[in-house]
Amino acid sequence: MSVLLTVENLNVSYGAIKAVQDVNFVVNNNEIVSLIGANGAGKTTILRTISGLENPTKGRILFENQNLLTMNSERIVSSGVAQVPEGRRVFSGMTVQENLQLGAFTRSKGINLKDEYALIYDQFPILKERRNQDAATLSGGEQQMLAMGRALMAQPKLLLLDEPSMGLAPLFIEKIFDIIKNVNAQGMTVLVIEQNANQALKIADRGYVLESGKITMTGTGADLLASDDVRKAYLGG
């Protein structure tokens, strides 16, 4: 299996707070890797550092042998890394399709995006139905789909998902994780961070457990789901 992303000895601080300490992990091509951990464990900080939004105090992040730490966030997107931020953040006052269009901003301007929209609408039929609606009128689950669709418009090689289940009803959570599996089955490599350990590990090829900024366990999704330590700490016993 070939490695797509390598995070090496990563350390990130906010002033005196050491949010991420000596973190090492890899994401191989075509995998779903889940990084699970409680509130405040440092998950979002890791994703934001990969996307170029935070500066580490130490460490390396290699994506296809390029060092992402030398690039700004726009170049990181162009090189093939797209992030779906926590809390979805769709743009209100713009239609669903205009939101999707924004996802293609790093690709050549003025290109006809008809085929790209069609691909997204195949994956998310509800977005096609609502394409001319203001994005703010979508339900939470639909907004999560739009945020994912927007990231996919950049045609990334690696999709970063920040807590896709947050704030969604159980039925929508199932649906979002089904979609993540689908997108992965079509060849997309996915790194997902989640507090919902159960769902995130169910779909994961491999997972990592993050506690207070450090990785404390790793294994296949199935192994972690079956682990007593993970069950006690994250799955209610």
Pick from 27, 33, 37, 184 the residue near ligand ATP by CB under 6 A.
37
**Min dist. Cβ of residue 41 to ligand ATP (A):** 4
Q: With respect to ligand ATP, which residue has the nearer C-beta, 121 or 234?
A: 234
Per rule CB under 6 A, is residue 39 in the interface with ligand ATP? yes
Pick from 5, 33, 43, 180 the residue near ligand ATP by CB under 6 A.
43
Per rule CB under 6 A, is residue 221 in the interface with ligand ATP? no
Total chain residues near ligand ATP (CB under 6 A): 12
Q: How far is CA 219 from CA 36, 132, 203, 226, in A?
A: 12, 44, 13, 10
Residue 134, token pair as written in the block: 């203001």
Per rule CB under 6 A, is residue 112 in the interface with ligand ATP? no
**Min dist. Cβ of residue 42 to ligand ATP (A):** 4
Q: What is d(CA 70, CA 37) in angstroms, rounded to the nearest whole number?
A: 28
**Min dist. Cβ of residue 84 to ligand ATP (A):** 14
Residue 97, token pair as written in the block: 């399709």
Q: Find all residues with CB under 8 Å of 190, minimum gap 6, and list them.
A: 31, 32, 33, 158, 159, 161, 180, 183, 184
Q: Which stretch binds ligand ATP (CB under 6 A): 40-48, 111-119, 122-130, 196-204?
A: 40-48
Amino acid identity of residue 171, one-letter, is L
- The answer to whether the beta carbons of residues 161 and 148 sit under 8 Å apart is yes
Pick from 7, 34, 42, 224 the residue near ligand ATP by CB under 6 A.
42
Pick from 4, 32, 36, 41 the residue near ligand ATP by CB under 6 A.
41
Per rule CB under 6 A, is residue 105 in the interface with ligand ATP? no
By CB neighbour count within 10 A (0-12 exposed, 13-18 middle, 19+ buried), where does 39 fall?
Answer: exposed
What residues make contact with ligand ATP under the rule CB under 6 A? 14, 17, 19, 37, 39-45, 195
